[in-house]
Structure 1
Amino acid sequence: MPGPYVVPVHGDIGLPKEVDCVVIGGGIVGASTALELAESGLRVALCEKGGIGQEQSSRNWGWVRISRRDPREIPLMAEALRIWTSISARTGRDTGYARAGLVFTCANDKECERYANWIRHLEGYQLESRMIGATQLCDVFPGSNLDSKGALYTPADGRAEPQKATSAIAEAARDRGTAILTECAVRGVETTNGAVSGVVTERGLIACTAVVLAGGAWSNLFCGTLGLDLPQLKVMSTVLRTTPVANGPEQAVWAKKFGMRKRQDGGYTIGSTTTSVVDIVPNSFRYARAFLPALKTEWRSLNFRLGGRFVEEARMPNRWKMDEASPFEYCRVLDPKPSKKSSERALLDARKAFPFLDKAEIAQSWAGYNDVTPDAVPVISAVDAVPGFHVATGFSGHGFGIGPAAGKLMADLVTGRSPIVDPTNFRWSRFSDGSKVAPLGVF
């Protein structure tokens, strides 16, 4: 079975002739944006080239965390935690959300100090996060063999089911009038006097005055059709789910070599914290200088690979006519092959730390591409060069938890209402206005 099973969302048959806003991309950010816009009274069409939530929004770990976030994301993530608490009731569907807590273990005194210093960024938010020692860590995880000097413990953090959440949000958007158009790729944006006037889909034209691109790993390619340069690369991670097991912890944990969280079915989602894969592609050279600071920070956890993906992307056209098929139609879903070695190693490391996993087996493994920016902070912004065009992308591997708030902020920007948080740190122009965009190395 390719990729994880996702609760299916059936697309609408009819194509609306005109809406107020077209959202491109049916991941959690696109679906959340559509829901917020529809609740604001706008006519919305959500266009997805494949199926709702079938790429990274269903392939992540399912963490809903504020702990160890880049400080620039904390105000928005605080809003996300608030939104998640009522999201199942709001959508009328099960998202699997639970506030269960999350633990980041510390390998040494230096990490303990760094995490302790991070906590100050939560001052004023009334969100519980604290440092605990090795003895307290054993109290949180009785029977574990975690090799740690201590940990950052954030009871305010939670988890949800990626294979359910995006579908629930998209269906809620449809309940409020949004047209959900699956297997309906947007080939390009039409402009009149330089401003957005519509989109051309593979099924025809939709007139609109606003577009939100929430295209994940495809956003760089789409932006290029408008002459816009978005510095973005992809990082691949492998994830597994286990068979159900008893007596496991409710809290999620990030350890030295693995991360895991409990699933609704009683199994655990587990992934390696040390074996992310970076495929070397033509854009790797194009954006090498922009990503150099991030590489210096994260190189120990990245495995660079030169293979078929380089040729595939080199051959991919970056321009096409509106009446011909686009690359988005030739590849409906990014479904990279998972690393069997990474899955087996992650489960072995998790078993060493948590003996209750000895009887757990790998039920399934999959891989996905995270869309990454040079500073690992998303773009949630209007693009001044094309009035009416907006971008919400580059969530850099931590977009699932923040997704509902990102959608709300994006809707605020589209409608012109007062934004829920200051959007300055997420502005499009930061990559071209001389701003410092180096990662802070805390996520």
Structure 2
Amino acid sequence: MKTFPFTEATPIQFQAPLPKTSEVVIIGGGVIGVTTALFLARRNISVTLLEKGRIAAEQSSRNWGWIRQQGRDADELPIVIEAQRLWWQLAEECGEDIGLTQTGVTYLARTDKEMAGFAKFLKIAQAHGVDTRLLDQGEAARLIPAMSRPFKGAMTTPSDMRAEPWVAVPALARLAARQGVTIIENCAARMLDVSAGRISGVWTEQGRIATSSALVASGAWTSLFLRAHGISIPQLSVRTTVAATAPLPEIYAGAAADEHIAFRRRQDGGYTLAAGGSHVLYVGPDALRHAPKYLPALKANPLGTRYRPAAPRGYPDNWSTPRKWDADKETPFERMRILNPAPEAKALRAIDREFKRLFPQFETVPLKASWAGMIDAMPDVVPVVDRAAAIPGLVIATGMSGHGFGIGPGMGRVLSDLIQGNEIGHNLQRFRLSRFSDGSPTRLGPSL
């Protein structure tokens, strides 16, 4: 079985020379960093995008490929709705087939409690004009007729979409480069250069870039990078395992999930499969430090997380990973260019078992590839999108909590205007960093 295609041996696509100055420097070449750079460039702002490994090589390409409004936090939903529109626009501008298809997302319910949770989101969806609807048992069975067992009901959003993330994000990066963004792969940002209390530059392994504005959008690495500058974010990362099948007869054209299995039709005729609601947390210094902030989420879903005593060497929250370094020395970001966790054998067996239970007509499920990714998560399951009060000129975007791919273009547009000081068009109060230190109670986003 093949593993994930992006490794440190993957050829470098983007190797522009390091500029001496740039109006904005973006640290992190995932979907958030790429789309922010794209929208800044469209305002004739010089942008340099730094990626320590390869564009989209971590979670931005390892996700399930869902682009969904369904089940999102009420404060995220307006940005997701904007992202849906932008996905169509950018896919056309890319001139590449990224697998963007409007085939819907469906959640299946076994219990009245799950249906009640769906009903709560339905009110949010209706308030924003989203076409979500609830299905009874018969309607759910007719929507996905190949299922072997009945469900209490379902929630479905026909306007939701899917795309192939490992194709889409590099395509967006190529579009950004054509529109003037300087993209440099295999170039780690080592430290921010702070003078007179504000951003004056970014130190990289290739040298210094002078700038007055920096965005840190580094996914699982964000907390480690910022902690070296005195900024604490209660971000943790969890590992999920994913698999792809060889081509199979179509059972559903969109994406769907129950509590045991999630599946999405792929452009190549197979399915992307994952265990619904299950992930692994490696216990390290940050996990212990921030544990109290995660108690509400743990109480709400005590069985969703499995624990391991230590992350592999070099991971952001490994016990031996340095928390401080010098700008002229090798850093943790160069020692691990691509965070490439191994898929969990136990999870792959569960994926195979649960998919065949739901669709027993497949006596065997031909898995052609498997991979794992580290999802950057926050205690309340919504991101941090904010200016850093402690360091003027610094903007932070992290903790997308598994939602980053779908919301990416919308969040990129928002961050572009936040960096420029423009009107944003959305209320970002929910996403402020200070919510974790100003005494605000934790308000969990939906676990749908």
Bin for the TM-score computed over the shorter chain? over 0.9
CA distance in 2, matches of 1:202, 1:129: 48
Write out per-residue CA displacement over residues 218-272 of structure 1, whole angstroms, 9 at most, x where no aligned residue: 0001111211111111111000000011233102111120001000000100000
In the alignment, what sits opposite 1:144?
147
Equivalent in 312, 330, 337 of residue 332 of structure 1: 337
CA shift in 2, pair 1:76/1:146, >3 Å? farther
**SS of corresponding position for 1:367:** strand
**SS of corresponding position for 2:145:** coil
In the alignment, what sits opposite 1:73?
76
> Residue 319 in 1 paired to residue 320 in 2?
no
Question: Aligned ranges for residues 261-340 of structure 1 at < 5 Å?
Answer: 261-309=264-312, 313-340=318-345
CA distance in 1, matches of 2:364, 2:88: 33
Structure 1 stretches lacking a partner, 5+ long: none
Write out per-residue CA displacement over residues 95-146 of structure 1, whole angstroms, 9 at most, x where no aligned residue: 2111110110111112112201211112343321100011111211122224
In the alignment, what sits opposite 1:27?
30
CA shift in 2, pair 1:310/1:321, >3 Å? closer
Equivalent in 323, 327, 346 of residue 341 of structure 1: 346
Structure 2 stretches lacking a partner, 5+ long: none
Q: Which shifted more, 424-433 or 181-190? A: 424-433
CA distance in 1, matches of 2:6, 2:148: 32
Q: Note the C-alpha offset of 1:380.
A: 1.0
Q: Which shifted more, 29-38 or 122-131? A: 122-131
In the alignment, what sits opposite 1:392?
397
Question: Aligned ranges for residues 83-162 of structure 1 at < 5 Å?
Answer: 83-162=86-165
In the alignment, what sits opposite 1:168?
171
Residues 129 and 152, structure 1, Cα contact 8 Å, conserved in 2: yes
Q: Note the C-alpha offset of 1:442.
A: 3.7
CA distance in 1, matches of 2:37, 2:442: 29
Question: Aligned ranges for residues 1-80 of structure 1 at < 5 Å?
Answer: 2-5=3-6, 10-80=13-83
What TM-score comes out, normalization by structure 1 length? Answer: 0.96
In the alignment, what sits opposite 1:223?
226
- Give me the CA root mean square deviation: 1.7
In the alignment, what sits opposite 1:210?
213
CA shift in 2, pair 1:75/1:385, >3 Å? same
**SS of corresponding position for 1:46:** strand
Residues 231 and 287, structure 1, Cα contact 8 Å, conserved in 2: yes
**SS of corresponding position for 1:344:** helix
Residues 8 and 52, structure 1, Cα contact 8 Å, conserved in 2: no
CA distance in 2, matches of 1:212, 1:190: 13
In the alignment, what sits opposite 1:354?
359
Equivalent in 193, 197, 209 of residue 200 of structure 2: 197
CA shift in 2, pair 1:5/1:185, >3 Å? closer
Question: Aligned ranges for residues 377-388 of structure 1 at < 5 Å?
Answer: 377-388=382-393
Count of residues paired in the alignment: 443
CA distance in 1, matches of 2:297, 2:39: 33
**SS of corresponding position for 1:314:** coil
**SS of corresponding position for 2:41:** helix
Q: Note the C-alpha offset of 1:71.
A: 1.7
Partner AA of 2:29 in structure 1: G
CA shift in 2, pair 1:342/1:205, >3 Å? same
Q: Note the C-alpha offset of 1:273.
A: 1.2
**SS of corresponding position for 2:230:** coil
CA distance in 2, matches of 1:354, 1:131: 23
Partner AA of 1:438 in structure 2: R
**SS of corresponding position for 2:40:** helix
Q: Note the C-alpha offset of 1:76.
A: 1.2
**SS of corresponding position for 2:202:** strand
Equivalent in 229, 232, 236 of residue 233 of structure 1: 236
Equivalent in 206, 221, 245 of residue 242 of structure 1: 245
CA shift in 2, pair 1:310/1:233, >3 Å? farther
> Residue 438 in 1 paired to residue 438 in 2?
no
CA distance in 2, matches of 1:251, 1:357: 18
CA shift in 2, pair 1:403/1:357, >3 Å? farther
> Residue 428 in 1 paired to residue 429 in 2?
no
Q: Note the C-alpha offset of 1:285.
A: 1.0
Partner AA of 2:339 in structure 1: L
Partner AA of 1:434 in structure 2: G
Partner AA of 1:162 in structure 2: P
CA shift in 2, pair 1:255/1:4, >3 Å? farther
> Residue 181 in 1 paired to residue 184 in 2?
yes
Q: Which shifted more, 334-343 or 1-10? A: 1-10
In the alignment, what sits opposite 1:408?
413
CA distance in 2, matches of 1:390, 1:302: 30
